[in-house]
Amino acid sequence: MEAKLIGSLRYAKYRYPKNHPLKIPRVSLLMRFLKVMNLIEPEEVIESRKATDEELLLFHTEDYIKTLKLAEACQCVPNGAREKYNIGSYENPVSYAMFTGSSLATGSTIQAIEEFLKGNKVFNPAGGMHHAYRNRANGFCYINDPAVGIEYLRKKKGFKRILYIDIDAHHCDGVQDAFYDTDEVFVLSLHQSPEYTFPFKRGFLEEIGEGRGRGYNLNIPLPKGLNDNEFLFALEKSLEIVKEVFKPEIYLLQLGTDPLLEDYLSKFNLSNVAFLRAFNMVRETFGEGVHLGGGGYHPYALARAWTLIWCELSGRKAPEKLTEETKELLLSIDFEEFDDEMDRSYMFESLRDPYRGGEIRKEVRETLQKARALILST
């Protein structure tokens, strides 16, 4: 199996507006980071393509896609679109990310699936935009590429048992909603509890699916201050539950980096070492799969974490130190820390974080016990 990264430097042109959390470079930064660290070869990169309308309509409604195109073309909010489709707000602003960038990310997820089915190991860092609904933007997401990818597998490739795993700090409400009543897709999400963060109305433990999908949705809402030991414990136990009740033909893994300590849009305290261990834990349990990006709002943390993922996927030994050229690359980014008093100098020196362990709290253990009981009782 060859490792393939589906990406493009073109993403740098399709950024969110100033003052938006996603205004930072992400995919283009990762690709430049890997290049200056000599961790990727040209033949390992597959240039991203836009999704076709046919592919987008596997999940999204035609009127919604037409409205995204129109809003992007005029750089305005069409009459009634804010209320009907939730676009044109601070959360989901009008920009060239809303259709062109999102379509590029979605086409890349289809490419990743196609490459995986050819026998390659794949990573689409632009993917994992898991909040969008069929006909509504949500949580910085306009097109739900995981949902489009899953529908592509079901409707075009004939897959009947698809596992979706999400370790982003925020619950995958758009994906959950899409497959909540089917037994062909099992959705597993580990995330911050919606009691204290977005999406607030989805992601609770008791949401286990309905109809034919009852028992095929597993949420693991977790408390603030989550440490590495707690996260890996929760993932290990939840994977055990899934393995007992579902035998996937294929899986998609969303690798949002916002659970990392440095990310200012989450309350978790994870290291990229635990993040890498989580990636390998999934692969050890279910083999290779289709790997997507996701949330991540601290560019230095994101580039370091996804570099570790790429090194593992491509069979490289990850270097311990960053080169001077890499430091210069990071410092060239238009990004300011929210906490000026926090010492982040280690991010310019080493690729790996120190392990951030700690006690596994009673509430974390109890959440996994309840989750097991809920799923196995259906």
Q: Point out the residues that are catalytic.
A: 171
The percent helix, strand, coil of the chain (3-state, each to 5) is: 40, 10, 45
CB neighbour burial string for 324-346, b if at least 16 within 10 angstroms, e if fewer: eebeebbeeeeeeeeeeeeeeee
* C-alpha span between 77 and 63 (Å, rounded): 15
User: Is residue 312 within 8 Å of residue 275, measured between CB atoms?
Assistant: no
The SS3 call for residue 116 is helix
The SS3 call for residue 299 is helix
Beta partners for residue 165, in sequence order: 188, 253
**Locus of tokens 């259709």:** 99
User: Is residue 300 within 8 Å of residue 329, measured between CB atoms?
Assistant: no
Which are the contacts of 48, defined by CB distance < 8 A and separation ≥ 6? Answer: 6, 7, 8, 10, 11, 104, 105, 107, 108, 111, 126
What is the number of alpha carbons within 13 Å of residue 62 lying toward its C-beta? 1
Token reading at 195:
């009691």
**Residue 317: Cβ-neighbour burial (10 angstroms; 0-12, 13-18, 19+):** exposed
C-alpha angle 213-214-219 in degrees, rounded to nearest 5: 100
